[in-house]
Amino acid sequence: MTDTPTILFVCVHNAGRSQMAAGYARTLSRGRIRVLSGGSEPGDAINPVAVQAMAEDGVDITAAVPQLLTADQVRESDAVITMGCGDACPIFPGKRYEDWELTDPAGKPIDQVRLIRDDIKSRVAALLEELFASSSESSAIDA
């Protein structure tokens, strides 16, 4: 792993789950990791209900834009977290992969998106704890 770990969050549209996870990774680590996100079939815009749910928890993802997942992103990453992209995510040897089974927030009411948000937050916090466990960076997590 490099001095600054890189985490890639991937979902199909890169408009909800992966953007929420990326927002939490940036916030909870206080910028001490490099965060990438992408989608196998990127949407046109970020899910506005996901933006609202994140804003309620103090995380601003309004500037996020859905991006197409690239092999370069996977190559550059220490950890690749997928959320329903299936076989569309390229696999490279030596990378850490996790698949988080999360409900897609698209079309869901805010009360359901809040539950998805909270699940993502706890998973991101646990991932950061693992990544920083062997370094003095563990105190850098604001879970």
Compute the distance between CA of residue 83 and CA of residue 27 in angstroms, rounded to an integer: 20
> Looking at 25, 89, 116, 141, which residue is catalytic?
89
4 is annotated as an active-site residue: no
> Looking at 7, 8, 10, 11, which residue is catalytic?
11
Per the listing, tokens 């969050």 go with 9
85 is annotated as an active-site residue: yes
45 is annotated as an active-site residue: no
- Phi, then psi, of 102 in degrees rounded to 5: -130, 140
Residues contacting residue 8 through CB under 8 Å, at least 6 positions apart = 36, 37, 38, 73, 74, 76, 77, 79, 80, 81
> Looking at 28, 35, 79, 85, which residue is catalytic?
85
Find residue 79's DSSP bridge partners. 7, 96
Q: Which two structure tokens, joined as six digits, stand for 140?
A: 């850098």
The β-bridge relationship of strands 79-83 and 6-11 is parallel
Q: Hey, which residues are catalytic here? A: 11, 85, 89
